[in-house]
Structure 1
Amino acid sequence: MSRKLFGTDGVRGRANSHPMTAEMALRLGAAAGRYFRRGGQSAHRVVIGKDTRLSGYMLENALTAGLTSTGMNVLLLGPVPTPAVGFLTRSMRADLGIMISASHNPAEDNGIKFFGPDGFKLSDEAEAEIEAIVAGEIALAQPGNIGRAKRIEDGRGRYMEYAKTTFPAGRRLDGLKVVVDCANGAAYRAAPEVLWELGATVIPLGVKPDGSNINAGVGSTHPEACAAAVREHGADLGISLDGDADRVVIVDERGRVADGDQIMALLAARWAAQGRLSGGALVATVMSNLGLEHFLTGKGLRLERTRVGDRYVVERMREGGFNLGGEQSGHIVMTDYATTGDGLMAAIQVLGAMVETGDTASALVAQFDPVPQLLKNVRYAEGADPLSAEPVRRVIAAAEARLAGSGRVLIRKSGTEPLIRVMAEAEDEVVLRDVVDEIVAAVETAA
């Protein structure tokens, strides 16, 4: 069953433009409600969280109207991290969880992500079924079966208390100074409070959301803000989250940035040494650096690669019984603790390693030397398909032949934006730049 509305991470787009309109959100809510009430039972419930975008109010109200129209009872969490929605969906015995967020995208965008009753994101097949319901006639509930909606005041607190339990038992963060950049997003209250309650001296950054400043010059897509604060305050560690706090990058005490690959390398090595790494493998996407793969091989561990998207990482983890995975961009999935990427819990694991080993952040989050990697994005017009153009295919084939045995090329469409992502890795940085620039130029001509 094909999907047009759903991308790699729910439905996403520019607010007040298709598909991110109030009308579509209402239909999505009604379709999701009908999908989860196919058996006709009553008393079904859904939890809805959101980040700090202005359009979140509009989409929250529209989704609520659609869901209650099909008999779902709605529990509104307010601004909470995406992983909190996954956690609370399962904890509160909800049939469905919804997060309203466009993650690391600018404030003008928004998105709708769905979680099943087990707290995991819905499968491609389930999303396709919901999309099919959207396209048809949606059966509404009888007047007496219309659902109710209410605000839940303790949702964030429940998540915070759980997050603290993932820190090593009997340990504290006393004496550590930590910068936490919340990207003016969903974790602007939860993350600083959790770290402070664990004992750290906390320097908060990006904690003044106004509806339009999410991810603006702060957060994991702009780690330079966190790095500057670390240097200014002489902090031991910087934590840079994205707008919905499902991804993180770490800044060491020298102000150097460590991406998801380095965080995963640290956790995989530690967990393997402790006998905690299920299956002797880490699951990551095709975007992860070759250096990570070489590092794991040297430890006697495997790297299982998937297509891009944390949902596909999680699917492979569940299929293979693995408990650690993620993306270079900073989604770190630890299924012992969470059902999706959790930036705060990943940062807590890094802090736990610092406390238990006594090592500095710089000693822990530089586990391997990455193979030089270059990524460039090319925007293309709606309806265009530049990757199918013969000149583009010839250039890509030539690049692959040039790097055979010494690197690799990865070209793909973004699942959330009209972008072609051109990535290559090679030991020779001159060759690397040449290869990427040639492909970019060909794609731009065809776009």
Structure 2
Amino acid sequence: FDPNPNGGVVAVALTPDSRYLATLSALPVQTLAIWNWTIDGDVPVCSADLKQEFGIQSFIYFDPTDINHLVTNSESQVLFYNWEENSMKYYAPPLTDRDFNKPVGRYSQSLFQIGIARALTATSLGNLVVWDNNRPLSKIMDVNQSADKKPLKIIKVHDKGISVLTNTDNYIVIGDTAGHVKFFDQGLRLIYWYQDFHSGPCTAISFAYNAEFLTVPNEGSKYPSDATKQAKPFVVRDFIVGTAIAVYCSLVTDGSKMKIIHREHDAAVHAVDCHPRLPIVAIGSYSGLLKLWNYRTKEVIASRMFEKSHIQCVAFDPKGFLIAVGCTNGVVYLVDSVALLNQINDSFKYAYDAITHITFSHNSTYFATADEGFTITVYKRQRKEGRNPYIWHGRYRSHYKPIKDLLFDIHLDTNEPKLLSMGEDRMLIEYDLHHSGKTNNHVVP
């Protein structure tokens, strides 16, 4: 099934019964098409070409009570549609900052309210734009849906931008750029909010499907109290929140139990190294996330977040027991290769510049780092029980341009490791790792 083979798809949506599929093409002149994909997916039921002046429409939402109405929006224009077999009409109601004498903001997502003929659109300024049928004002609220709408009012519901707008049961749900999730009734009165995710701006909210779900709490349940005067138990479905920093959080509402169920890199990956014996690769990024990935089973073995750190390079030791992690702030961590737990009491912090290279000697007696300060640092293994497995051995600045490679070789006569570095200054330098002098620095060229 390929609805737009020439340009791809920018947004999709299914009707509540999953019979019809709506797609927005990614071509310069966008097409909204409705597909009865369960019967014949080759030809759309109906479609409409959209004007380029409406911007790139990137969100679709079907009216859950009347699937013949739907809404799409770009950052600057909201469109309302009415479709039937072989025909589709749409309306583009105008709205500017001058209409209500307040800034509107950029549109993010839209939905239809339940039980009334109104729609809502969230904006980047924390506003909700309320759309109503384009008819003379009346005290009687219209319940017959129409695609011909006009802006009725703008309601400020949050100080931060609203990035997600959805609903569950009879609640309107908002996710914002601060990572908060708020629940409103159909009158847009705040009922409850969750604000302890600390996982970045919301990009998606999905509620669990349970056909037997009841809004009446069971005996012994631990649902929080809502924000009404009665302080009734706030019973809502469990849900998952996706965020802009590639984190998925699961929240069990009975007891408000939150946990991170998946985390991915949300910044550039600069560090990759393979396990010397097993089909495992270590991946580190500027988000501070280090993951161990089994490339045969396609599974994540372990992951760890290094807070406020950008991982620049990683290296396994020759036996694959340890991983050295170098960061852009000059810090070096030493962790095990199973659970990524610290193997030293504290991190090594001898460099003031980003760590660019890490390498181990063939017998794991030494490991060395190079940094952007044109300096190499060597650490030596100690085998005393209860102490750090490696200690500082020496540090030397022998280049005047960036170091491009760092490696350990072997002395052929003694089988002892030797360290070499290559710089942009075209200098290949071998280091004496057993220097004895007046200082504790045992590393010299």
TM-score range, shorter chain: under 0.3
Question: Quick check: which has more Rg, 1 or 2?
Answer: 2
- TM-score scaled by length of structure 1: 0.28
- TM-score scaled by length of structure 2: 0.28
* Structure having the larger proportion of residues in helix: 1
Higher relative contact order (CA 8 A, sep 6+): 1
